[in-house]
Amino acid sequence: MFENTLYVIGLILVTLYLTMGFDDFLWDIYSLTKRAQFKNKRLDFKVIRKTPEKLLAVTIGAWNESQVIGAVIENLISSIQYPKSMYHLFVGVYPNDQETIDVVKEMEKRFSNVHMVINVLPGPTTKAQNINYVISQVKQYEKQFGWRFASITVHDAEDVIHPYEFMVTNYMIDKYDGLQFPVFPLMQMPKFSNFFKTMTVSTYADEFAENHFNVMVGRYSTGAFVPSAGTGFALSRKTIDTFETDEILPNDSITEDYRLSLTLFEKGLRIRYVLDLIPRVSRDDKIIFDYIATRSMFPTTFKAAVKQKTRWILGITMQSVAFKDIFAKNGLSFMGRYSLYRDLKAKIGNLLVFVGYPVLVYFFVSLFMPLTPIYPFFSLSWYLSLIVTIMMIERQISRSIAVYNVYGFKSMFFACLLPPILPLRIIWGNVINLSATIKAYIQSLSGNKEKKKVDKKQQSFAWSKTDHTFLPKEVLNRYHRTFGDVLIEKGLITPEALKETLNKKPAKIHIGEYLLQEGLINEHQLLEVLAHIKGIEFVDMGDFSTYDLPSFTSKFDKDLLEELMVLPIVSAGNSFVIAYCESSPDDAQTILREKLGIKILSAFTTTEMVREGLEIMFGLKKSKFKNTIAFNLLNTNKINTEQYIIACNHAIGTGKSSDEILQSMGLLVVENEANI
């Protein structure tokens, strides 16, 4: 009797595993074939750099984030390779969270592109309500300045945003309705001494690597439903305009990102999954390849991980969609319906661990002790268990490939080979998912009961956020771009040539100075790279027709400008933009500020441009200045000096007028043109 019961239990369990996992096995094989088109994919940054920078809006919802939000904003501003005046950060805070308000207010004072949005409701509401209200204020900001943002990107309060994300968003957002960048968790470099300490956060790294390196690629390449990750998700302005109200994200959902992306999929809108590599120089001067991805902090304790994953499982598998929707929703392709099924079955598959691991332990013990076998040799259940074992090994190989590509061999070893067959990190991750699923079922049942007692306008589930920490500055610096990174990105030198140059360069000479001495780059290229690193503009003066240089004649001394080899190019209020070249002394800005007592903003241009500009400025060469709408906008403070220079640079590069460029940048909205 006991033998029959044990056999039936084993047969039922292995059948369930086979039923739940066989499609995953087929999907993995299929995804691996699809990965070929993404392997070693490179973005053409020469083309990306030629795309006029459009206004981009970034939203961050912040509830009780005073410990991290300041550092997050500082890191974003200092690392992003995109003009500061062309992206604006809108931080949603709550009136009953004074500590966070104080920090964001300080950031707002320091950075002109940071804006605090105080919610009309006390916190916490849902994250969706927070972001929706921020989006409504972004639209008000547009009306106030007569601007139009090309996209709105959602980020979390603990994100390390990739320096090139906004640049790529600017390039792609006109071609797609939305963009989802990969999300890869941050974790300490794994080693035996911290293996158990970092076990929980490492399971996030393993799962996200597998999902965002393999699964999302398969979904995107097959036209299936690509869910938002909740961060690093950009919506085009035209997509936002398809919503009749400001309620873009569903206020009644705790996984608003998933629900929104499903809504977009049902509308037939196209979301681009951006899994692209870019070469860069590592700390030990080696050439490595980096994904343009969001790096985020995730829970480090079992309790916090269960809390977060409970919210995900509850929102996705129990609140956003039901099994009947797989068949009931109209207009979905087969792959679309299948992708919904894959998401929903997690709430069942996670529970199998509850029975599966005890059976597995019994099986292993039976190999060494005289116990009744649960899978008798050559029985039906034995053959099925053999298939399941093969599937399990395949899943581990699939995860190994993903973790290796995202985090490297060392991380792959600790994730998938310690020990082989049954890695501890996979087991621990499954235990977390099991606990979260059980808790989600409990909350769903209790939530449905409570829902009958409350008004429909009230939120069923509050924002169950995770407490966050952030990285120290010395670690964050690893994610900032270096001179060598930008050289490669701009195509001025190959990774191989840069590696050879770094090996030959004397230790005390800066790489840029050495390349200039060796004739490998010219002054224009050197200063253009430095401008990107320093976050200022390189000015292409063209034929000088867009700069009213003679207007500065009475304000500056000719001999001083020639001695310092600098050129004033534009002004706004009491500030002057001064262009420096390679021939300018290092202390040129200090000398100007002390002698003239003016506020100076810096830019770079070539020595030849400075000389010719000074000749025009002091009447030695005829001026070709042409007044434009762009110049009038600058003089009336409708745009700032950086925006004006960007428009002029692209006008010279494209042959279009600066006014046309301003329209493409979102700084000159056509319907407002008559009022300018």
Cβ distance 295 to 229 under 8 Å?
no
Distance (Å, whole) CA 388 – CA 17: 7
User: What are the φ and ψ backbone dihedral angles of 264, each rounded to 5 degrees?
Assistant: -65, -40
- 542 with 522, same domain: the answer is no
In a domain, 326, yes or no: no
Which of 1-15, 38-52, 58-72, 229-243 is predicted least confidently? 38-52
Task: Give the residue from 302, 337, 356 where a domain finishes.
Answer: 302
Q: Which three-class secondary structure state does DSSP give residue 420?
A: coil
Q: What is the CATH number of the domain that holds 148?
A: 3.90.550.10
Q: Which two tokens stand for residue 128?
A: 């969706």
More confidently predicted of 380 and 31: 380
In a domain, 348, yes or no: no
Q: What is the CATH number of the domain that holds 621?
A: 3.30.300.160
Q: Which two tokens stand for residue 386?
A: 């053999």
Is pLDDT above 60 for 447?
yes
Per-residue model confidence as pLDDT tens digits over 148-170: 999 999 999 989 999 999 999 99
pTM, rounded to two decimals: 0.90
Cβ distance 659 to 668 under 8 Å?
yes
Distance (Å, whole) CA 179 – CA 196: 36
- 577 with 631, same domain: the answer is yes
Q: Count CA atoms closer than 13 A to 224's CA, side-chain side.
A: 20
In a domain, 64, yes or no: yes
Amino acid identity at 136: S
- 549 with 502, same domain: the answer is no
- 181 with 264, same domain: the answer is yes
In a domain, 446, yes or no: no
In a domain, 474, yes or no: no
Is pLDDT above 50 for 673?
no
Taken in order 193, 198, 200, 201, the sign of the CA dihedral is negative
- 503 with 638, same domain: the answer is no
Is pLDDT above 70 for 455?
no
Q: What integer pLDDT is reported at residue 136 of this predicted model?
A: 96
User: What are the φ and ψ backbone dihedral angles of 461, each rounded to 5 degrees?
Assistant: -130, 125
User: Across the strands, what pairs with 117?
Assistant: 92
- pLDDT tier at 457, thresholds 50, 70, 90: very low
Cβ distance 366 to 372 under 8 Å?
yes
Is pLDDT above 50 for 672?
no
Distance (Å, whole) CA 429 – CA 425: 6
More confidently predicted of 452 and 254: 254
- Residues 6+ positions from 473 with CB-CB distance below 8 Å: 71, 75
Q: What integer pLDDT is reported at residue 445 of this predicted model?
A: 86
Residue found by looking up tokens 């904003």 in the block = 73
More confidently predicted of 334 and 607: 607
- 502 with 640, same domain: the answer is no
Average pLDDT, the chain: 88
Structural domain total, the chain: 3
Task: Give the residue from 272, 302, 332 where a domain finishes.
Answer: 302
- pLDDT tier at 38, thresholds 50, 70, 90: low
Per-residue model confidence as pLDDT tens digits over 529-562: 999 888 899 999 988 989 999 999 999 999 999 9
In a domain, 660, yes or no: yes
Distance (Å, whole) CA 26 – CA 443: 33
**Residue 615's closest CA among 537, 549, 548?**
549
CA triple 228-350-389, angle to 5 deg: 110
Q: What integer pLDDT is reported at residue 467 of this predicted model?
A: 59
- 298 with 281, same domain: the answer is yes
Is pLDDT above 50 for 674?
no
- pLDDT tier at 494, thresholds 50, 70, 90: confident
Is pLDDT above 70 for 649?
yes
Amino acid identity at 88: H
Per-residue model confidence as pLDDT tens digits over 288-302: 888 999 999 899 999
In a domain, 207, yes or no: yes
Task: Give the residue from 302, 321, 338 where a domain finishes.
Answer: 302
- 516 with 558, same domain: the answer is no
- 501 with 608, same domain: the answer is no
Give mean pLDDT, residues 483-488. Answer: 87
Q: What integer pLDDT is reported at residue 106 of this predicted model?
A: 97
- Domain membership of residue 615 as a residue range: 531-675
- pLDDT tier at 453, thresholds 50, 70, 90: very low
Cβ distance 242 to 267 under 8 Å?
yes
Q: How far is Cα of residue 362 from the mean position of the Cα atoms in its chain?
A: 45
- 64 with 157, same domain: the answer is yes
Q: What integer pLDDT is reported at residue 633 of this predicted model?
A: 92
Residue found by looking up tokens 């390196």 in the block = 213
Per-residue model confidence as pLDDT tens digits over 587-603: 999 999 888 888 899 99
Helical (H) or strand (E) element with 530:
helix 523-534
- 490 with 561, same domain: the answer is no
Cβ distance 468 to 297 under 8 Å?
yes
